[in-house]
Amino acid sequence: MEVVAYNVYDLKFLSSKDISYNPALGTGQIQIRDIHYVELQQRTAWEFCQLLDRKYLHSTRRSFQQWLALAKRNAWIKADD
């Protein structure tokens, strides 16, 4: 077997329309629409995290408080104790 071509993408630069959160995949799993045809959008790591949070909330129809409880339970964020 010979590799004749490849593409490498930084996940945080994939456009919003190319990333989706599919609850059927399990908690914390994202889905790329079609990795061969993606658009890139410059954003910071913080903006990417915010994008993922918005997509999660929209796809699961959970409230921010439900998301916050899940994030704390899974240690996704630090709690100010």
78 has a pLDDT exceeding 90: no
Banded pLDDT at 29 (limits 50, 70, 90): confident
What's the pLDDT score for residue 81?
A: 60
Mean pLDDT over the full length of the chain: 87
Q: Rounded distance, CA 58 to CA 55, Å?
A: 5
Tens digits of per-residue pLDDT, 31-49? 899 988 999 999 999 999 8
Q: Are residues 21 and 57 in contact, defined by beta-carbon separation less than 8 angstroms?
A: no
| CB-CB contact of 11 with 45 (8 Å) | no
Helix (H, G, I), strand (E, B) or coil at 69: helix
Question: Beta partners for 31?
Answer: 20
Greatest alpha-carbon span in the chain: 54
Residue bearing the bigger pLDDT, 2 or 28: 2
d(CA 29, CA 26): 6
